[in-house]
């Protein structure tokens, strides 16, 4: 059975983006601090990162990439990342959840799908023996959790407090029972892995 994982980085006060995020603005004001762990330290949108993850940060990334068969992401994340320059960054089939699937770009890098459940089903089929990762954004992860589609959830906590922005669980009202699987820690983040228990 194909495992579905989800993971997202947030601030200590629960924000997955700083204020004013979106296309051309990435993770919003100060949002780069959420992903210091990805690039080995400080970076800004004005000075693109040159480094990469190291130590425990790299170990967690490698654990996610090992056996990765497909990725699900939201249209907002896709656009905020400037469509990754038209190149799929995951190297595996990438399904973009959108209300406008007819706007899918040419090429084989991304598949636009109307709805989270369809996207996850398509990703599971494409993943073969690999696992599926729901990478965000927040709305897609909330929808996947609400539909009972996620087997494991990782919350990556960056040591920053924003005070405003976009929260991971805004508007989420269904209780979800989690079982602690493990934790990693670095100077840039704390990775908390959970199993999502059946409702």
- Per mean pLDDT, which of 62-71, 77-86, 104-113 is the most reliable? 62-71
| Overall average pLDDT of the 62-74 stretch | 94
Which of the four pLDDT bands, split at 50, 70 and 90, describes residue 183? very high
Which of the four pLDDT bands, split at 50, 70 and 90, describes residue 1? confident
Residues 6+ apart with CB under 8 A from 45: 25, 26, 32
Query: Which residue in 115, 121, 81 sits closest to 99, CA to CA?
Result: 115
| Overall average pLDDT of the 41-55 stretch | 88
d(CA 160, CA 138) in angstroms, rounded, equals 18
Pick the more confident residue, 89 or 11.
Answer: 11
| Overall average pLDDT of the 112-122 stretch | 96
At 52 the pLDDT is: 92
């Amino acid at each position: 059975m194909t495992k579905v994982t989800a993971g997202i980085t947030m601030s200590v006060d629960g924000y997955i983006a700083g204020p004013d995020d979106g296309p051309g603005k990435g993770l919003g004001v100060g949002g780069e601090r959420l992903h210091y762990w990805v690039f080995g330290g400080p970076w800004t949108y004005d000075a693109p990162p040159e480094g990469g993850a190291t130590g425990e940060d790299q170990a967690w990334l490698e654990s996610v990439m090992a056996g990765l068969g497909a990725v699900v992401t939201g249209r907002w994340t896709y656009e905020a990342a400037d469509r990754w320059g038209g190149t799929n960054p995951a190297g595996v089939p990438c399904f973009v959840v959108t209300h406008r699937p007819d706007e899918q770009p040419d090429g084989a890098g991304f598949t636009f799908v109307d709805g989270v459940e369809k996207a996850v089903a398509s990703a599971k089929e494409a993943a073969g023996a690999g696992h599926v990762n729901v990478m965000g954004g927040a709305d897609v992860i909330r929808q996947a959790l609400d539909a009972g589609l996620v087997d494991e959830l990782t919350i990556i906590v960056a040591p920053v407090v924003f005070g405003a922005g976009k929260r991971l669980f805004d508007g989420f009202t269904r209780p979800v029972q989690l079982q602690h699987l493990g934790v990693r820690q670095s100077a840039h983040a704390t990775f908390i892995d959970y199993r999502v228990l059946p409702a």
